[in-house]
Amino acid sequence: MPALDNSPRLALIKTLSDGQFHSGEVLGQELGMSRAAISKHIKVLQQWGVDVFRVQGKGYCLPAPLDLLDEASLQSKLNVPTFSLVPVIDSTNQYLLDRVGQLTSGTSCLAEYQQAGRGRRGRVWFSPYGANLYLSMYWRLDAGMAAAMGLSLVVGVSMAETLNKLGAEGVKVKWPNDLYWQDKKLAGILVEMTGQAGDAAHLVIGMGLNVAMPETDSVDQQWANLKDTSSALPDKNTLAAALINGVIDALKEYEVSGMNGFVERWDKFDNFKGRAVKLILGEREVKGIARGINEQGALMLETEAGITPYLGGEISLRADV
């Protein structure tokens, strides 16, 4: 089945992205379609999560201007300018996984809307159009799959450092794969891989960063938004390029020196160090005090039995202390 041509909808959202009113008639003339067709496309934009509204006599409008990704702008800012900007996609991770054999390390894929965005543990990653950043990067790891655990922590540290440099205040890391702000999830990282044991690993590193997640019932947890971390953040192209450039530098360093240096860098942003947490390991739950990470990227958890490294599981703050 041929892919659906989204170009009329993309043209429409670009026009509306200025946050001004546009009448159905003028939009129709500009985009060469009837008012009825405009109205049909607007409905699709709404399904993509764009909050378009209509005022009688004035036309269609967005509640605020929309900061959209732009190929030329990204191209000028990326150190490894091999990327695909696919505004409407199933999943940026899947896009790269489908092309692993043709990619070089650092190649990225960015989208405005994911129809099947995925999170860890089979969760859905809610990806409304133009609201957040959805990006993935391919990396060939010669050290093989065993080194992938540390790598995903390195990506988190690098993202926190980049956001901090760009002015975001109070961004933290949560072991093993999240960014947090004020104890709420700001970003998630999903590393997927292909390759044979004992061989190089082909990794796809997916990053979902909430920038301005719309208020909605369909989100099952309270998110943090990057827009709330500073009043002077750069545009999304600058942000995306800085994140990609930062992750590439961090991964190159990781390939040479492993976790050396990253444990200390992680420490500076650790949201949970010294706090009472519970670690969920399938059916099992371990309560303790988080004591940072070790050189393998394991969580160091202090219980009455002492400090034990854990390589798997998910942590959350304890309400019982």
Q: Which residues have a catalytic role annotated?
A: 120, 185, 318
Structure tokens belonging to residue 50 = 């764009």
260 marked among binding-site residues: no
Task: Give me the long-range contacts of 230-237 (CB less than 8 A, separation at least 24).
Answer: 230/166, 230/167, 230/168, 230/169, 232/167, 233/166, 233/167, 233/168, 234/166, 234/167, 235/67, 235/73, 236/67, 236/68, 236/69, 236/133, 236/211, 237/69, 237/70, 237/73, 237/74, 237/77
At 276 the three-state DSSP class reads strand
Mark residues 73-92: x for contact with ligand BTN by CB under 6 A, - for none: ------------------xx
| Cα gap 89→21, rounded to integer Å | 28
x/- track of binding to ligand BTN for residues 145-184 (CB under 6 A): ---------------------------------x------
* From candidates 49, 106, 176, 208, binder to ligand BTN by CB under 6 A: 208
Q: Quick one: 123 or 184, whose CB is closer to ligand BTN? A: 123
Instruction: Choose, by CB under 6 A, the member of 188, 246, 292, 297 that binds ligand BTN.
Output: 188
What is the nearest approach in angstroms of ligand BTN to the Cβ of residue 25? 37
Q: Is 93 annotated as a binding residue?
A: yes
In the window 104-123, what residues touch ligand BTN (CB under 6 A)? 114, 117-120, 123
Residues 6+ apart with CB under 8 A from 204: 93, 96, 97, 100, 136, 137, 138, 139, 191, 192, 193
For residue 131, the SS3 value is coil
Q: Scanning residues 246 to 275, which ones bind ligand BTN (CB under 6 A)?
A: none
Residue 155 Cα to chain centre, angstroms: 11
- Chosen residue from 105, 107, 108, 136 binding ligand BTN by CB under 6 A: 136
Does 190 interact with ligand BTN (rule: CB under 6 A)?
yes
- Residue 115 counted as an annotated binding residue: no
119 is an annotated ligand-binding site residue: yes
Q: Is 91 one of the annotated binding-site residues?
A: yes
DSSP letters, 162-197, are: HHHHTT--SEEEETTTEEEETTEEEEEEEEEEE--T
Residue of 113, 126, 134, 262 that binds ligand BTN (CB under 6 A): 134
Could you give the CA distance from residue 253 to residue 256 in angstroms, rounded to a whole number?
Answer: 5
Name the residue nearer to ligand BTN (CB basis): 27 or 190.
Answer: 190
Provide the β-strand partners of residue 201.
141
User: How many residues belong to the site for ligand BTN (CB under 6 A)?
Assistant: 20
The only residue of 128, 176, 206, 292 in contact with ligand BTN, by rule CB under 6 A: 206
Annotated binding site for biotin: 91-93, 114, 118-120, 185
Could you list the residues that contact ligand BTN (CB under 6 A)?
A: 91-93, 114, 117-120, 123, 125, 134-136, 178, 188-190, 206-208
Q: Could you list the residues known to form a binding site, using ranges.
A: 91-93, 114, 118-120, 185
